[in-house]
């Protein structure tokens, strides 16, 4: 169960981080975050944490069932 929660949080961080990065770069407009370096950096950190969580879940081996 914990594995799915960690995976879901990772995917959400990937998606939200990607949006924040694009807003910080000015690619996505119409927000107070548009063109702000701070939101680019926050988004980059969120995206990278999401990558780590998803990668850890994908590469983690399941325990053998008896």
Q: What is the pTM of this model?
A: 0.84
Q: Where are the alpha helices (DSSP H) in 1-66?
A: 2-25, 37-59
Examine the pLDDT at 64 and tell me if it is beyond 80. Answer: no
Domain boundaries, the chain: 7-59
Assess contact for 34 and 28: CB atoms under 8 A. yes
pLDDT tens-place string over residues 7-31: 999 999 999 999 999 999 999 988 8
Residue 66 has pLDDT above 80, yes or no: no
State pLDDT tens for residues 28-58.
988 898 999 999 999 999 999 999 999 999 8
**Residue 16: per-residue pLDDT:** 97
């Amino acid at each position: 169960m914990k594995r799915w929660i960690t995976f879901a949080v990772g995917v959400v961080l990937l998606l939200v981080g990607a949006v924040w990065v694009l807003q910080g770069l000015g690619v996505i407009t119409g927000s107070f975050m548009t063109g702000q370096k701070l939101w680019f950096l926050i988004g980059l950190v969120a995206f990278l944490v999401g990558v780590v969580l998803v990668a850890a879940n994908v590469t983690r081996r399941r325990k053998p069932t008896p």
